[in-house]
Structure 1
Amino acid sequence: MRFLNYGSVNIDLIFTVDHIVKGGETLQSTSLVRSAGGKGANQSAALAKAGSEVFHAGKIGEDGLFLLELLSGYGVDVSHIRRYAGSTGQALIQLDAQKQNAIILYGGGNSAITKQEIDQTLACFTGDDMLVLQHEIVHIDYLITQAKARGMKVCINLAPYDPSALSLPLQLVDLLVVNELEGAGLAGLDESASFSLILETLVGSYPDTQILLTVGKEGCWYGFKDKRIHQGIYETKVADTTAAGDTFIGYYLASLARGYSVEQGLSYASKAAGLAVSRPGAMASIPRKEEVFD
């Protein structure tokens, strides 16, 4: 299976701080790192490092040309990443002493993608391929419907979540990945709702869609039809959680493409994410396949 990841490509500016800045507060950062990021690009890097054939599609400005070389170096095909006269997407990331992060996004090229570009890219793929999406670019609804019209499978990581997600044709999606906050919002539940209630509500609302609910230190839950699987986390010393979820998704999809079962895929994905959080950085922290697969 080939993967087409139509997703965000960002320049990350990572500020190391004692705590996440509060309103009206000025805070001194102890370090500043400029690196590659974007949930889309991170997931493509994870898929490639896991040994999958992955094509990334998106849009960048001249300030983001270094990202092409970086992704290519991991094995990602970047021939569907277009350039334009504006800025590449940006992410301002605060990383606190407890290794938690707070992120501000600027869309840049991620918001300048056109339907014509989408049509041109999808024409290169078939029903044997999977489209991988996040919620950081425009025309997600169009991407889903057009990919399904071509017979492609679709996976969407509904992050970051906002109410516009409720209008997406998620009933067409094959795999929906959300964390507990995104899942609660989509399910119309309070953020304090139990994981089981969130999962059961989503499974009932989208009966033809596999649901993968990630719940931080509690691991993740898989739900589809009558099947329920819980996977715990892979215990490591945490250095940086920035790309944990993206690593998890990339390795889970890659595991399925290798022929592993859902249970095995969740186990390998948990191991990969655990290794990623034990290292600083985003793409650079994602482990290679030799570190994860038996």
Structure 2
Amino acid sequence: MKFLNYGSVNIDLVFTVDHVVKPGETLSSSSFFRSAGGKGANQSAALAKAGAKVTHAGKIGSDGQFLVDLLSGYGVDTSLIRLYEGATGQALIQLDKHKQNAIVLFGGGNVQIRKEEIDQSLALFSTGDMLVLQNEIVHTSYLIEEAKKRGLQVCLNTAPFDEKILGLPLNLVDILVVNEIEGAALANSAKGSSFGEVLNALVQTYPASEIVLTAGKGGAYYGYKETRLHEPIYDLPVADTTAAGDTFIGYFLTSRSLGHDNQRALRYACKASGLAVSRLGAMGSIPLANEVFS
């Protein structure tokens, strides 16, 4: 199986702060660093580090060439990352003393993708391959519909969640990945619903999709038809949660492509995510396969 990840490529600007800045407040940062990011790029890095054959498609400005070089160094095929005359996507990340983050996004090249570029990219893949998507680029509905016409499987991570998600053809998605907040919103669950109740509601609402629910300290859940699985977190001291979900998805998908059953795939994905959050940074925090599959 080959993976086509059509997704965001961002420059992350990370500020370490005591607390997330409030309206009207000016706050000093105790440290600052720039790193490679974007949910799409992070997931491509995770797929490649896990051992999958992955091509990343997207768009950057000239300021983002170092991101392409970095992805290539991890083993990602970057031949479908296009250049345009503008800025690469940016993410301003505040990381507080509790290791929680708040993120402001600028779309940049991620919102300059054209449908003809999508067609050209999808034409290079065939039945049995998988399209991986997040919610940081444009034309997501078109990508899902065209991928299914070509016989590709589709995995959608609904993050970052917004009202656009509700307008997507989610009935065509093979693997739907949500966190606890996104899952509750999609399932229209009552406040205070348990993770199991949210999972059941999602399975009923999207019966054609395999549901993967990441629940933070609650671990991860899987639901499809009558199957329900749970895997606890791989508990390590938390340094930075930025790449937690992206790492999880990359390792979950790769593990399945290696023939592992869903419980084992959840276990490896939770381990990889736990290792990632124990380190600072996004893409650079993602562990290598020998750290996870050992």
Q: Is the TM value for this pair above 0.5? A: yes
Amino acid at match of 1:254: T
The answer on 1:235 being equivalent to 2:235 is yes
In the aligned structure 2, how far is the partner of 1:23 from the partner of 1:185? 27
Are the structure 2 counterparts of residues 191 and 19 from structure 1 closer, same or farther at C-alpha, using a change threshold of 3 Å? farther
In the aligned structure 2, how far is the partner of 1:205 from the partner of 1:45? 31
In the aligned structure 2, how far is the partner of 1:273 from the partner of 1:188? 27
In the aligned structure 2, how far is the partner of 1:192 from the partner of 1:30? 36
Matches within 5 A, 1:30-69: 30-69=30-69
| Offset, 1:254 | 0.4
In the aligned structure 1, how far is the partner of 2:286 from the partner of 2:70? 13
- Matched with 2:265 is 265
The answer on 1:283 being equivalent to 2:283 is yes
The answer on 1:112 being equivalent to 2:112 is yes
Amino acid at match of 2:282: A
In the aligned structure 2, how far is the partner of 1:231 from the partner of 1:55? 29
In the aligned structure 2, how far is the partner of 1:216 from the partner of 1:59? 31
| Offset, 1:174 | 0.5
| 2:93 alignment partner, SS class | strand
- Matched with 2:73 is 73
| 2:156 alignment partner, SS class | strand
The answer on 1:292 being equivalent to 2:292 is yes
In the aligned structure 2, how far is the partner of 1:189 from the partner of 1:203? 12
| Offset, 1:184 | 1.3
Amino acid at match of 2:247: T
8 Å CA contact 1:181–1:191 kept in 2: the answer is no
| Offset, 1:185 | 1.4
Tell me the alpha carbon deviations over residues 111-146 of structure 1, each in whole angstroms, 9 at most, x when there is no partner: 000100000000000012100000000000000000
Moved more, 237-246 or 194-203: 194-203
Tell me the alpha carbon deviations over residues 120-177 of structure 1, each in whole angstroms, 9 at most, x when there is no partner: 0000000121000000000000000000000000000000111121110011111000
- Matched with 1:222 is 222
In the aligned structure 2, how far is the partner of 1:191 from the partner of 1:68? 42
In the aligned structure 1, how far is the partner of 2:195 from the partner of 2:25? 34
| Offset, 1:51 | 0.6
Matches within 5 A, 1:1-294: 1-190=1-190, 192-294=192-294
Are the structure 2 counterparts of residues 30 and 88 from structure 1 closer, same or farther at C-alpha, using a change threshold of 3 Å? same
| Offset, 1:32 | 1.0
Amino acid at match of 2:158: L
Amino acid at match of 2:10: N
In the aligned structure 2, how far is the partner of 1:163 from the partner of 1:37? 23
TM-score (norm 2): 0.98
| Offset, 1:85 | 0.2
| Offset, 1:188 | 2.1
Q: Structure 1: any 5+ residue segments left out of the alignment?
A: none
Amino acid at match of 1:261: D
Moved more, 6-15 or 199-208: 199-208
8 Å CA contact 1:185–1:191 kept in 2: the answer is no
In the aligned structure 2, how far is the partner of 1:235 from the partner of 1:204? 31
Moved more, 198-207 or 35-44: 198-207
| Offset, 1:193 | 2.9
| Offset, 1:200 | 1.2
Q: Number of aligned residue pairs: give it.
A: 294
In the aligned structure 1, how far is the partner of 2:6 from the partner of 2:55? 8
State, as a whole percentage, how many aligned pairs show the same letter.
Answer: 65
Are the structure 2 counterparts of residues 242 and 160 from structure 1 closer, same or farther at C-alpha, using a change threshold of 3 Å? same
Q: RMSD value over aligned CA atoms? A: 0.8
In the aligned structure 2, how far is the partner of 1:165 from the partner of 1:107? 17
| 1:73 alignment partner, SS class | helix
| Offset, 1:201 | 1.2
TM-score (norm 1): 0.98
